[in-house]
Amino acid sequence: MKIRKIEFENFRNFKDHGEIRCSTDGKVTIIYGKNGDGKTTLHQLFQWVFYGQVHFNRTTTDRLYNLQYESDQPFGAVFEVLGRIDFDHDNTQYSLTRTNTYKKRLDDSEKIAEDFSLQKMDTDSNWKRMEHPKDIIEKMLPSGLSDYFFFDGESMIADLRVKGKDSAGKLRKALYSMFDLDVIEAAINHIGRTDLKTTALGKLYLSEGSITSGSQISAIKTNIENAQNKIAKYNEDIAECGKSKDEKQVFINNVSEQIGSSKSKSDYERQRKSYQVQRDLFIKNAEASQSGFGDAIVDMFPQLLISKAVEDAKQKIHLQISKNHLPSGVNKKLISYLLSSGTKECICGNPLCDEERNHINDYLAMLPPHSYTNLYNDFSKTAQAWGRGYNLGKIEAFIKNVLDNNEQAASCDVKIRELDKEEEKSKDIEDLIVARRQAEEDVKQLEMRITTLTTELRKFEIYLKQQSVNYDKLTNETEAGEIALRKINILEEVCAHFSEMLETESVTYSHRLEENIQTLIEQMLTSKRNVSVSSEFAVRVTDSFNDESKSEGQFAVVSFAYIGGILKMLQSEENLASKEYPLVLDGPFSKLDPDQRQNVINVIPEFAPQVILFSKDDLQSAFSDSCVGRVWTITSNEEKNVAKVEEGYLWN
Amino acid sequence: MELTTDVMLRGTAWSQVIDSFSLIFKTRTHYMLYLLSMSIGIMYDQRIDKPDEAGEEPRSVPRNVLRNNDNGKLDFMFQAAILSTETEDIDENTRLELAFGENIDYNKIGLLTQFANYGITKLVELIGNSPVESMENIKNFLASTVEGRNLDVDTLPDDILLADDAY
């Protein structure tokens, strides 16, 4: 795919109709814009037109229109927001259009319709509207990889920095879909496990007991099915509660932001936040004291508790000492002399036979290091070293600390509620405060519900295991059971084969990605770093001390290398080599020092067959003339709420 | 003591105590509770070979955790236990041999785990409605034990009231 032109009208800052024609000959298209001019807005236009996704903040996401345009409209007027992308794909021209239709109301405008159409130019140069545009676009430009084709450097840095695991999960999903590994994964999931009744293995397992196998087996089979249903239901409920809890949490954060942004309320919000911080701190202290209590208990009590047993033991050893006294005058030297092979006679003159020698040998056991005196001393020493120091005060202090901190946390809660009550009187944010308080209560309720559900789930898991053991016992003796068991074994082998295959492929691709990123890092980063990519596609960039810390600039370079590595891998894949993917890049160039910036710019044209670049920094001199294609500049009014795009490099 | 396998903590009591006390014995929950329960079992000189189970997934103390934190404690516990216990019918010489000899055939960790299986049933009784309540219960139990009051009869069953008429 190569993008020829983007068009927009009444889209956020861009009130009037505008268009940007892009180079399709391998040269880089650059769109310049200062902070606030609308670079990110235009960058997001791509994802909006292709996938209907926008990542503005909450209020603006609902209102894609230009505010001045909207305010000029009379009440009840109907107007549109338009985005269009013309592109070539497999030597055919396409035009993709997305429009949102709004109706003006008293305070804002309501979205009343949305249209998404894809037109294809036929051989007679006529545009023909296509059915199922979403599916066609998905095939041309998979949405799973959209974050990599339409690359927002700033968010990618934040993503890599904060949500490494999430990024890896997202990338893994996208790459699995590109390389058809998702089919293998689906096969593994389809085969499933014997305890999951909707999977192939689960069904086979239950087929071990047919109706004819007897009422006992049938009864247990019903129990197993019931337990499986319950487990599935509880898992579903837990996931649902978790989702609601996350949504409420986001809502609370958003409302807090809104309340905080109201100037008159900033004091209130600050005070509330301060109480919340204090409360969290008290809770943390209480938890620390709780765990300190546990440490102190285990440090102090075991030895005190066994002190009676230790005394008994000591007595026993002591008793043994008195029983095992060496006769006076017998010492190690004498025993050694008598036991040496040359000694034939005792010192009293009697001959030394085997019986005498065995007797003398017993004396050896009474000597150090095996003597009981020695054992007694060692044991007493350990007992003394290990256990002493009963300190009830110390233990009680921990409990008091927990109580105090819990009380303080509760008192902060009371203060927060009082503060809320006070603020509820002020009309403008009353609803928000009430809504936030309600949401906070809801989160608490949801947490409790999750705990209850988890306990119930656990019970049914145990029950299922018990029933399965009985079921196995009964069905193992039946013919149907044996047949099903053989089938299960075969299917498990198939599953193991697929799992191995998936693992091997994942490792291959992750190594390839690792090599790509490493090469790019070496080309772009001025400091030496090692790259490792796990089979789950989590990327780590470390120095020789395995330290992952990076400066802002280094993070920016890593994000460029990350995206470059992924796109290079797509290009090098045989099955995908015929496909072309564009790169629309909102890059964090200002974070790079001059050397690094030049290094990055040198390699960017190689990332993809078509590169469209948004920049707030002057890159004209950094690119060689042969690399730069069409250049556009965004200009805005003073308030930066109405912008337009003109062709050329228009900065002085 | 040679530790070649993880110590398995089987039964309802272990599950209940571990789940309830994990926020109190946070550093190394399973190991800490194992050690504490073992010492309670040795103190009461009571063992349980097969704890009551309701199909719970067994918990475990990994052998590396035991090795890293042991510092001779388990050997000492075993010596004190085997020399003093009346639950094992063996003569004094065998006891001394097991405590200090090189005999590796005897399942020393097994014996300690049986003591711990008893000890954990005492800890179950201390589970409160909140962590603080549990902490208070643990403290009271251990303090009264160490101060000597707990070694006698702790509580009597209600049935004893029925026997009152006989006296």
- Determine, yes or no, domain membership for A101: yes
**Is the predicted pLDDT of residue B154 greater than 50, yes or no?**
no
Q: Is the pLDDT of residue A598 over 50?
A: yes
A526 touches chain B (CB under 8 A): no
- Cβ proximity of A505 and A487 under 8 Å: no
Judge residue A614's burial from the number of C-beta atoms within 10 Å of its C-beta, 0-12 exposed, 13-18 middle, 19 or more buried: buried
Higher pLDDT, A373 or A10: A10
User: A16 in a domain, yes or no?
Assistant: yes
Q: Tell me, yes or no, whether A526 and A485 share the same domain.
A: no
Q: For A508-517, how does the pLDDT look when each residue is reduced to its tens digit (9 = 90+)?
A: 989 998 999 8
What confidence score (pLDDT) does residue B120 get?
94
A482 plus A531 within the same structural domain: no
Higher-scoring residue by pLDDT: A431, A141: A141
- What residues contact A7, with CB distance under 8 A and at least 6 apart? A17, A18, A19, A82, A83, A84, A85, A86
A463 touching B (Cβ < 8 Å)? yes
> Who has greater pLDDT, A575 or A190?
A190
Could you give the count of Cα atoms lying within 13 Å of A538 in the half-sphere of its Cβ?
A: 11
State the CATH number of the domain containing residue A112: 3.40.50.300
pLDDT in tens, A251-306: 888 888 777 766 566 677 888 888 989 999 999 999 999 999 999 998 888 888 88
Co-location of A210 and A129 in the same domain: no
Whether residue A393 is contained in a domain is answered as: no
Q: Does the pLDDT at position A50 exceed 80? A: yes
- Residues A119 and A250 placed together within one structural domain of the fold: no
Integer Cα distance of A341 and A353 in angstroms = 11
Please report residues of A whose CB lies closer than 8 A to that of B131.
Answer: 290, 402
* B128 pLDDT higher than 70: yes
Angle (CA) A493-A497-A498 rounded to 5° is: 120
What is the domain count for chain A? 2
pLDDT at B155 over 50: no
Is A308 within 8 Å of B95 when comparing Cβ atoms? Answer: no
The pTM is what? Answer: 0.52
Residue finishing a domain among A478, A501, A524:
A501
Task: Tell me the chain A residues in contact with residue B81 when contact means C-beta distances shorter than 8 Å.
Answer: 306, 309
Q: Tell which of A483, A501, A519 closes a domain.
A: A501
For the segment A87-121, what is each residue's pLDDT rounded down to a tens digit?
999 889 999 999 999 998 877 788 889 999 999 99
Residue range A565-575: average pLDDT? 82
Chain B residues touching A305 at Cβ < 8 A:
39-40, 42-43, 142, 145-146
pLDDT exceeds cutoff 70 at A84:
yes
Taking the C-alpha atoms of residue A375 and residue A489, their distance in angstroms, rounded to an integer, is 57
Between CA A187 and CA A180 the distance in angstroms is 12
Q: What is the mean pLDDT of chain A?
A: 83
Residue A415, domain member (yes or no): no
Q: Are residues A511 and A458 in the same domain?
A: no
Residue A566 in this model has a pLDDT that exceeds 80: yes
In the numeric block, the tokens 């000899």 are attached to B101
Q: Are residues A567 and A490 in the same domain?
A: no
Let me know whether A557 and A439 are in one domain: no
Whole-number percent of chain A with pLDDT over 90: 26
Domain boundary among A471, A501, A531: A501
In this prediction, residue A484 has a pLDDT band, given cuts at 50, 70 and 90, of confident
Same domain membership, residue A627 and residue A588? yes
**Which structural domain, as residue segments, surrounds residue A441?**
182-264+429-501
Query: B3-20: per-residue pLDDT in tens?
Result: 788 899 999 999 999 999
Question: Distance (Å) from the C-alpha of residue B160 to the closest C-alpha of chain A?
Answer: 29
Is the domain of A590 the same as that of A640?
Answer: yes
Unique residue bearing structure tokens 């020698």: A357
Contact present, B11 and B53 (Cβ < 8 Å): yes
- Report whether pLDDT(B164) > 50: no
Q: Is A113 a domain residue?
A: yes
| Sheet with A18-21: strands ordered across | A18-21, A2-9, A78-89, A92-104, A109-121, A127-129
User: What does the pLDDT read at residue B150?
Assistant: 43
Tell me whether residue A491 is in a domain.
Answer: yes
Between A87-96, A613-622, B152-161, the lowest mean confidence (pLDDT) is in: B152-161
Q: Are strands A643-647 and A628-636 parallel, antiparallel or unpaired?
A: antiparallel
> What is the structure's pLDDT at B167?
42
Q: Are A105 and A222 within one domain?
A: no
What is the predicted pLDDT for the residue at A259?
75
Q: Is residue A421 part of a domain?
A: no
**Interface confidence (ipTM) of the complex:** 0.85
pLDDT confidence band for A32 (50 / 70 / 90): very high
Do residue A523 and residue A451 come from a single domain?
no
Which residues are paired to A585 by β-bridges? A151, A613
Distance, C-alpha A555 to centroid of its chain: 19
Same domain for A194 and A50?
no
A118 in a structural domain = yes
All residues of chain B having their beta carbon less than 8 Å from the beta carbon of residue A293 are 24, 135
Provide the H-helix boundaries in A122-214.
133-140, 146-149, 153-162, 164-178, 181-191, 200-206
Average pLDDT (A189-205) is 85
